[in-house]
Structure 1
Amino acid sequence: MEIDWKSLPSLTSLRAFELTARSGSFASAARELNVTHAAIAQRVRSLETYLGAQLARRSGRTVVLTEAGTLLAQCLNAGFGTIATGIRELQAEQTKAPLQVAATVHFSQAVILPKLHEFWETSPDVQVSVMPSQDIEDIVSLGLDLAIRTAPTTPSWPGLKAEPLVESELIVIGAPSIVKDDMGPLDKLPWIWSAGVRHEEEGMKAFGLDTRSIKNNDVGVPFLQFSLVRQGLGLAIAPEILVRDELRSGQLCRVPVASPLSITYYAVTPLGTVPPRVRAFIVWLRQSMSK
């Protein structure tokens, strides 16, 4: 049914009257809407003026509906009830749908998946679907709720909203078998990086390394790089946040050289209001990364 909104009184007045009719007093309606008793009475009088009919009469501290008021109250109760039911059903459907998160393979493996059980402790009804991807595409066209992206400076991604999660310095890492006091010059040791990947080569250059001359033991599969490093096949450059747990456990060691560069991880969402379940995941992720 097409609705002529111009012919309807204000929803504020309708809501004030519906609450008054249901509770039986201006005072009760005022408490529920967190406004004054006088404001509710004024809105009901305004509605009566608009309709040209008396809707309620005072009887002591209560309100008694007229015949017209009873009819309107029944219509409003049914209408608002239908709206409330529709909203609850929509929210329930949104809760059932998995939260679609895109992140790089390294970030997914090192940060999200190992601690996802912690998120479910506080949000057990939110399903999470992680899409590991080295190249995060347009999240809007893919129907994703959230993407984790990095940038060395303040980003500008058209059509998207970005909020910082954590800043992480780039560090040099290696297995304990390589990282020793007498390990020698870094450019004489084998390295593991993906040739032709701009951000990796820029990281190498930031540490003063010439990618054209140093030995590269990469096998061409980016998400296996850290596995090769753990095996002692070479050094690598990584955001500290991605290897924090392995540094603590001693599986990896940090090479004692100053970090010349840091990057910031951002939670990227489509423009508009961030749904509560997405907000909850972002808050959890930020807290988890700060530990």
Structure 2
Amino acid sequence: QQKISKDTRGIILEIDWKTLPSLASLRAFELTARRGNFASAARDLNVTHAAIAQRVRSLEAEVGVPLARRSGRTVVLTEAGARLAQHLNEGFGTIAAGIRELQDDQSKIPLQIAATMYISQAVILPKLHEFWQLHPAIQVSVMPSQNVVDIVALGFDLAIRATPNERNWAGLDAELLLESELIAVGAPSLVGDDITSLHHLPWIWSPGMQYEEDAMKALGLDPQRLRNVDVGAPFLQLSLARQGLGLWLTAEVLVRDDLASGDLRRVPVPSPFSMKYYAATPVGPVRPHARTFINWLKAALTKQE
């Protein structure tokens, strides 16, 4: 006997799962009834013919009534089997419809991404049209920020983060997208073939940004003695470098197009260290749209190398 109870959603059937046959045997029987033979049901479930037959026999033993009998290569349902098959078909159909509805609802929610200012400006936004050519139905919302935002609290799907160190973000899973050298670049007007001393040239960096100042020190430079032409807006630093207003330390991936076009040149000094770029997602299942975007971005970054 199943119990009937009522909650705020209406009448709910309380199912005693301990009294029901296994889902595997119910699914095997429903497919056998719909396909008309064990072989087709076995192909649908990617199991052997014998496995399907065993599950149906197990179900018959559990319910205590014959459900089907063989007739040559086909299976003929008994009267009880036909009634059960109809109930199972309706039940599984309701489940399938509920799953599709849930997935459809999720697919309509825009993919929300938090990303560093630089990766947004240099990689994501310039290539977003390529993503939409492949996946036109996926809406994408990007929030560029130099601050580390709490994507769990904001309800975001993922964040693109960069760090020269090991990742350490509580409550997030992280997948490495790319490791890119930190290099010094400047416009051709500053980085000529005869460039010698770097101490007397202007630089662009955000005061207090530890990894930038550490990189300068690794190159033998003293940030306190350098002339900084930063205007206080990190998203303008690439533009300042292009205009020849100063040298800039940045991940190579962010200026590949500029280096290829000649708008920027690499300063002939060794890379002090690398930046690692990660796709960070809240711990738990990843939305299919987020997984699609991560895979695309990883492939796009790899293609650039």
TM-score, structure 1 normalization: 0.95
Structure 1 residues not aligned, in runs of 5+: none
Contact conserved, 2:182 with 2:271, CA < 8 A, in 1? yes
Q: 1:81 aligns with which of 93, 102, 117?
A: 93
2:173 maps to 161
Q: 1:255 aligns with which of 248, 261, 267?
A: 267
Do residues 266 (structure 1) and 292 (structure 2) align? no
1:124 maps to 136
CA positional deviation for 1:153: 3.4
CA positional deviation for 1:223: 0.7
Poorly superposed stretches of 4+, deviation over 4 Å? none
Q: 1:179 aligns with which of 185, 191, 195?
A: 191
Q: 2:296 aligns with which of 274, 284, 290?
A: 284
CA positional deviation for 1:221: 0.8
SS in 1 for 2:203: coil
Q: 2:73 aligns with which of 61, 64, 70?
A: 61
Q: 1:236 aligns with which of 218, 232, 248?
A: 248
How many angstroms apart in 1 are the aligned matches of 2:101 and 2:220? 58
SS in 2 for 1:54: coil
CA positional deviation for 1:269: 1.2
1:210 maps to 222
1:34 corresponds to which letter in structure 2?
Answer: N
Q: 2:127 aligns with which of 115, 118, 121?
A: 115
2:287 maps to 275
Do residues 196 (structure 1) and 208 (structure 2) align? yes
1:41 corresponds to which letter in structure 2?
Answer: A
Structure 2 residues not aligned, in runs of 5+: 1-11
How many angstroms apart in 1 are the aligned matches of 2:132 and 2:69? 53
Q: Deviations over 1:116-149 (max 9, x none)?
A: 1111222221111111111131222211111111
SS in 2 for 1:188: coil
Contact conserved, 1:55 with 1:65, CA < 8 A, in 2? yes
CA positional deviation for 1:17: 0.4
Q: Which has the larger displacement, 142-151 or 240-249?
A: 142-151
Do residues 71 (structure 1) and 83 (structure 2) align? yes
How many angstroms apart in 2 are the aligned matches of 1:183 and 1:267? 38
How many angstroms apart in 2 are the aligned matches of 1:184 and 1:281? 43
CA positional deviation for 1:194: 0.9
Q: 1:43 aligns with which of 35, 55, 60?
A: 55
Contact conserved, 1:171 with 1:238, CA < 8 A, in 2? yes
How many angstroms apart in 1 are the aligned matches of 2:58 and 2:195? 84
SS in 1 for 2:223: coil
Q: Deviations over 1:139-166 (max 9, x none)?
A: 2221111111122233232221111111
SS in 2 for 1:150: strand
2:163 maps to 151
CA positional deviation for 1:202: 2.1
2:111 maps to 99
Contact conserved, 1:206 with 1:261, CA < 8 A, in 2? no
How many angstroms apart in 2 are the aligned matches of 1:170 and 1:22? 61
TM-score, structure 2 normalization: 0.91
Do residues 220 (structure 1) and 242 (structure 2) align? no
Q: Which has the larger displacement, 10-19 or 178-187?
A: 178-187
CA positional deviation for 1:12: 0.2
* 1:255–1:24 Cα change, 3 Å: same
Contact conserved, 2:31 with 2:41, CA < 8 A, in 1? yes
